[in-house]
Structure 1
Amino acid sequence: MYLQIGLRPEDRDVCRFLWQEAGAEAPVKTYRLTRVGFGLACSPFLAMQVVRQHARQCGEIDTLIDRVVTDMYVDDLATSCDDSGEARNLVKKLSDLVRSGGFSLKKWASTDVSALHDLPEEDQSGEGRLWKTLGLFWNRCSDHLTFVIPPAVELSRCDTKRQLVSLAARVFDPLGCLAPFTDRAKQLFQALWLRGIDWDDCLPADIDVMWRRWKEELDQLPTIRVPRALLSTPREQLQRVELHVFGDATETAYELDPGWKPFVSNRVQEILGLTEPHQWRHCPTSDNPADQLSRGCALDRLREDQLWWNGPAWLKDSAER
C-alpha cells in the first residue's frame, strides 16, 4: 500500500539513505525514496489520509465514503452489513473505488461465504478459522472474537517486575472483555511499585504465588468467545437503543495523587452537567458487573459469568425498575 503513494519532490530529500553493493571496495551511493517508506512514523497516517481523501473526491455515495473514513485503519477494513446482497454490493463498490486510486483490496473474509461469490479466489482469504483483524482474533465460522495464548510462557520461572509487565501486555484486549482478569496483573504491578521493587528484581514470594496462578490461567484464553456482533438485530428493526454504564471502585483504584484531583473533579462536573439526577441509581453489588472488574476474577469463572457478559437481568424489564 505504501509504495502506491508518491512523495512530493520537495519532501524526498528528507528520505535519503545510503547504499553499498556487496564488496568492501564498492562505492557508497546516496538514494532517496520517491514513495512512502516502510518504518517511518508518518507512513500509516499518510496512507490513511490519502485513501480517505481519494474516497471523498471519487465517492458518489455518502455511505460508501463513510465506510472508508470510519471503518478502515491503514490497510485493514472491518465493516458489516445486514444481508449478503448488501455485502456483495459493498464489496464491488469499495473494490472499484480503491482500484481507481491505484490500490487493491485483498484477503476478503466474511461469515457469509455467498457475500464473496463475485470475487476471484485470489482476492479471498485462506480457509483458516481464526482471522486476525486490528489485533483481534476473529473466528469467522462462528462469528466470535477470541483470544490466543501468548507464546513462550514459562510457568516455573521466577519472574521479575519487567517480565511481569511484558507478559501482561501481550494479552491484547482493547475492548476490555478480559478486564477482570487482566486487571489482576495490573494490581500486582501496582503492588510492586508500592514496595519499591526494581525492574530486574525477582518478585516477592507472596506476589510470585499470585502471579504464577495468573500465568497458569492463560491456557484458558481460547475458551473465551465473545460475539462479534454487538447487535444481533438489523438496525432498522430496532425500536430503542439504551446505554447503561456501571461503575465501582476499590482502594487500589480509587486513591488518587493530589495532582489528579482537580482533573477528576472537572470531569465529574462535566458528566453531571450532561446527565440528569434521575438517571443515576445505586446498584447493589450482586447486580453490578463493574464489581468483577474492581475485585478481579479467574478466567474460568469469568467465562461463565452471565452478569459480566449480559448485565443484570432487570435491564430487560420496564424502565421503571
Structure 2
Amino acid sequence: MVKNITAICKLGGFNLTKWISNSREVLLEISEEQRSKNFKELDLDRDKLPVERALGLHWCIETDAFKFKFNIREQPHTRRGMLSMISSVYDPLGFLAPFTIPAKIILQDLCRLKCGWDDSVPQSVQQKWNKWMEDLESVGSFKVSRCLKPKDFGHVISAQLHHFSDASESAYGTVTYIRLQNSKNQVHIAFVLGKARVAPLKQVTIPRLELTAATVAVKVDKMLSSELQLPLEEPQFWTDSTSVLKYIKNEDKRFQTFVANRISVIREASQVSQWRYIPSAQNPADDASRGLKFEHLTRE
C-alpha cells in the first residue's frame, strides 16, 4: 500500500513523507528520509515505538491503542472556566462519553440556575466539579485498542452493527458495537462509537427522550454503514423503552408533530423487525444517559 500510494502521488508531482506505522516490517521498507521525524533515528529492532498524534488523538504506536492526554490548567470556578475545561476533552468517537456527560450536566444546571458566565458557582456545584476534575487527572491511563479486529483473527465472514439507545431525565445517548465472526466461527465484539447529550432545558418526557435517542441511533447507523469498509449484515437496534417500540410498531394512530417527525426518521432508515427490547440492567447505553465515574468506566 505504501509503495502504491507513493507511486500514484509521484505522478502528480507529490512526494509523500513523514510515514508512521505500528508495523516494524513496514517501517523497515521505508527509507529513513521518508519516515516521520521521531522515527528517523529509531532502532527498529530494539527501541520502543513512540506516541504520535493522529487526527487529534494520541496514538500509542507500540501497543496500537488510542490514549488521552490533557494539560489540566487551573480555571476559575465559573461557567466560562468549566466550559473551557470540558471543551478541552477531545473525544470524537465517544470513548469517554459516559465520563464527560456528568460535567455537561453540571454546566447545564448552572444555566438553569441562571448563573452568569463569570459568577462564582454555588458550593454544592463546586464540590461536584472538584470530584470530576480529580477523575479527569486519571484519564491519562485510559487506553482503547485502535483496531476493531483482533490480531490474527483471520478473514471476517460476518459483520453486524448493534445500536443501543437510552435516556434519563438528565441526558440521552447511544452506543454502537460491531459483531465480527471469522471462518472458524469465532466471534469478537468491539466498541465503534458512542454519543451522549444533555436533555433540553425545556422539560421533555422520558418516552420522548427515549424516542430522540432512538432517532440518533438510526442516524449513526446510516453514517457508519457508509463509512465502514465491511460487508455489513442488517443492523439491530436495542432499547429498554417499551414506549419507543410501541411508537415504531404503530400503524394506525396519528401522533403529535414531535413524535411523528422522529418516527418518520426511524421508519425511513430501519425496519420494525430490526428493533428489539433489552432490559435496562443489560443496556450499555444506560451509562451514556446516566454517566459514570472514571473508575467504573475502566472497570466496564
Q: Normalising TM by the smaller chain, what interval?
A: 0.5 to 0.7
Over 6 Å off, 4+ runs: 233-236, 258-261
Alignment partner of 1:103 is 2:30: no
Q: CA deviation at 1:234?
A: 7.8
- C-alpha change, 1:152 and 1:273, in structure 2 (3 Å) is closer
Residue in 2 that maps onto 1:228 = 146
SS at match of 2:292: coil
Q: Is the 8 A contact 1:158 1:203 kept in 2?
A: no
Q: Following TM superposition, by how much is the alpha carbon of 1:225 offset from its aligned partner in structure 2, in angstroms?
A: 0.8
Could you tell me how far apart the structure 2 residues matched to 1:179 and 1:197 are?
Answer: 25
Partners of 1:277 and 1:146 in 2: CA distance: 38
Cα distance, 1:264–1:141 mapped onto 2, change above 3 Å: farther
Provide the residue aligned with 2:264 in structure 1: 269
1:293 partnered with 2:288: yes
Partner of 1:148: 69
Give the structure with higher Rg (CA).
1
**1:50-86 deviation digits (Å, cap 9, x = unpaired):** xxxxxxxxxxxxxxxxxxxxxxxxxxxxxxxxxxxxx
Alignment length (residue pairs): 213
1:248 CA drift (Å): 0.7
The aligned counterpart of 1:159 is 77
Shift of 1:192: 0.8
Note the 1:188-207 alignment, pairs <5 A.
188-207=106-125
Q: CA deviation at 1:239?
A: 1.9
| Structure 1 residue 275: Cα displacement | 2.5
Offset of 1:184 from its aligned partner? 1.1
Cα distance in 1 for partners of 2:203, 2:135 equals 36
Structure 2 partner of 1:246: 164
How large is the RMSD of aligned CA atoms in angstroms? 2.5
8 Å contact from structure 2 (residues 171, 290) kept in 1: no
Instruction: List alignment gaps of at least 5 residues for structure 1.
Output: 1-89, 306-321
State how far apart, in whole Å, the 2-side matches of 1:234 and 1:263 are.
48
- Distance in structure 2 (CA, Å) of the matches to 1:267 and 1:124: 49
Return the TM-score normalized by structure 2.
0.65
- Of 276-285 and 203-212, more deviation after overlay is shown by 276-285
Q: Which structure's relative contact order is higher, taking Cα pairs within 8 Å and 6+ residues apart?
A: 2
Contact 2:65/2:143 (<8 A) preserved: yes
Give me the whole-angstrom Cα distance separating, in 1, the residues matched to 2:20 and 2:291. Answer: 35
Please, which moves more after superposition, 274-283 or 201-210? 274-283
After superposition, what is the alpha-carbon deviation per residue over 1:205-247, rounded to whole angstroms, capped at 9, x for unaligned?
Answer: 1111111111111221121111100122689822211111111
Which runs of 5 or more residues in structure 2 are unaligned? 40-48, 173-198, 205-211, 213-255
Over the matched positions of the two proteins, sequence identity in percent amounts to 34
Larger proportion of helix: 1
2:2 to 49, 72, 91: 91
C-alpha distance in 1 between matches for 2:76 and 2:146: 37
Deviation at 1:102, TM superposition (A): 2.8
